Structure 1
């Protein structure tokens, strides 16, 4: 059973938030702000925050830039995961992934089903790893950002979470690059 082991010390993670939107500025970015509030409220560090247009190449370039930054451990994007023609965030993420975390989308769908029923099928939330950095693409609604953080990421980005978590395997994410 999942639990927090209070005998383990909390480790702060450096997280960047990327909002994908053609129409929002920082003042209107409620989903990005929801993530920022939860990230900092949990004791993690906001490493960067930006808003970028729904352009696949630009999104992928920003993800690659942040994955190359040693001061960023995790990138969470919000927006552009739906089914419309302008929704290209998932494709941009997959352009960058070295490995996809398939179960992230599945677990997100399970969480969403409890809140919005079959409307959950319209989300393409995804997660992956690139250059030793975790990447997560969340829908643009504040509810979806709350659900993803509160039900999945808050636990997986907490070193104290048992039986396992993403933080404890950070040192091994790029071990293939160190092999001789």
Structure 2
């Protein structure tokens, strides 16, 4: 018997407002395939895209944008793609760090476990992570479309569906916001 549950609840789906941040020194709106994949999968799941931008790998610029979205009550979730590797230009986790209220370490652990099945030990180079920042859920995904697809389909989309059982982040969002 599997302990993985799906969205079979009779509750009405609650769409969330998602902001998409692509972290890249080279991508443009025309070449942002990872940002497009996030938008495609989020929209297909019934969510709304509240904001979207592409910013260079500069910690202060990324932090300012994330803080702006975290402060915006119209944005429920931020999903960033890129800047989660181990080179000097990969600064997305460092940009997010001062904004974190509560880390969600299970996201990165599960992402790397699932990623191992696809790319083997290369997954150790990923610093994918998630956190609660005040009342906003933030996910940091790799810049690759494969990493985005895996994170979105296997973890994020189910966790943003208030009908997903046994539990999900979406149904906790009102409590998280109330606490902040």
**TM-score when scaled to structure 1?**
0.96
Q: Does 1:153 align with 2:156?
A: yes
8 Å CA contact 2:59, 2:95 repeated in 1: yes
8 Å CA contact 2:108, 2:129 repeated in 1: yes
Aligned pairs for 1:106-125 within 5 A: 106-125=109-128
8 Å CA contact 1:93, 1:137 repeated in 2: no
For 2:8 and 2:130, the matched residues in 1 are separated by 25
For 2:117 and 2:174, the matched residues in 1 are separated by 34
Task: List runs of 5+ in structure 1 lacking aligned partners.
Answer: none
- How many residues align? The count is 177
Structure 1 residue 93 displacement after superposition: 1.3
In angstroms, what is the RMSD of aligned CA positions? 0.9
Aligned pairs for 1:68-107 within 5 A: 68-107=71-110
8 Å CA contact 2:21, 2:78 repeated in 1: yes
2:34 paired residue number: 31
2:6 paired residue number: 3
8 Å CA contact 1:20, 1:80 repeated in 2: yes
8 Å CA contact 1:155, 1:165 repeated in 2: yes
8 Å CA contact 2:100, 2:132 repeated in 1: yes
1:47 paired residue number: 50
**TM-score when scaled to structure 2?**
0.96
8 Å CA contact 2:9, 2:165 repeated in 1: no
Structure 1 residue 95 displacement after superposition: 1.9
